[in-house]
Amino acid sequence: MSDLQQDTVVEQATFGAGCFWGAEASFRALPGVLDSRVGFARSAGGEAALIEVVQVDFDARVIPYSRLIEHFWTLHDPTSVDRQGADVGVKYRSALFFSNAQQAHLALVAKQQLDASGHLSKPVATVIVPLGEFQLADEDQQRYLEKHGGSSCSI
């Protein structure tokens, strides 16, 4: 194992930002993101609806979780409830799914800071919930924009 591999601290983050194709492509472009996959998630609290998400594997020594959250805010309208652009429905809900107490804390603080910043005309509607179930989307959905030459979800 190389020194680089020994120093890698792999963590996982799961984000719902509307169309998962665009979110996946955007996260994959960040230095420190090692891999990603799209799928559907629901909270550990048992909410029935599945939400379109991108799940990101990242090297926490290169890009901290807090930086991924900052990027997440820029990908979509976090004030919109169950809608992102032309995509309407609960599966397009803005959501941060956390895997541990540290992620939960960082997500809640980031949401409070964004609300307090005055940059948004409405309160942040993003739900912050524990990751319960994750269902991988079909292979055709993985890296969709990369495979089909698109640059956004509007294709």
* List of residues 6+ apart from 86 with CB closer than 8 A: none
End-to-end CA gap in the chain:
41
Write the single-letter amino acid at 47: E
Annotated catalytic sites, by residue? 19
pLDDT single digits (tens) 63-92: 999 999 999 999 999 999 989 888 898 999
- Separation CA 82–CA 80 (nearest Å): 6
The answer, yes or no, to whether residue 13 has pLDDT greater than 50, is yes
The answer, yes or no, to whether residue 152 has pLDDT greater than 70, is no
Give me the pLDDT at residue 1, please: 44
H or E element, residue 93: none
H or E element, residue 16: strand 10-17
Predicted TM-score (pTM) of the model is 0.90
- Separation CA 58–CA 60 (nearest Å): 6
The answer to whether the CB of 75 falls within 8 A of the CB of 26 is yes
- Separation CA 112–CA 91 (nearest Å): 24
pLDDT single digits (tens) 111-145: 999 999 999 999 999 999 999 999 999 998 898 78
Q: What is the DSSP letter of 123?
A: -
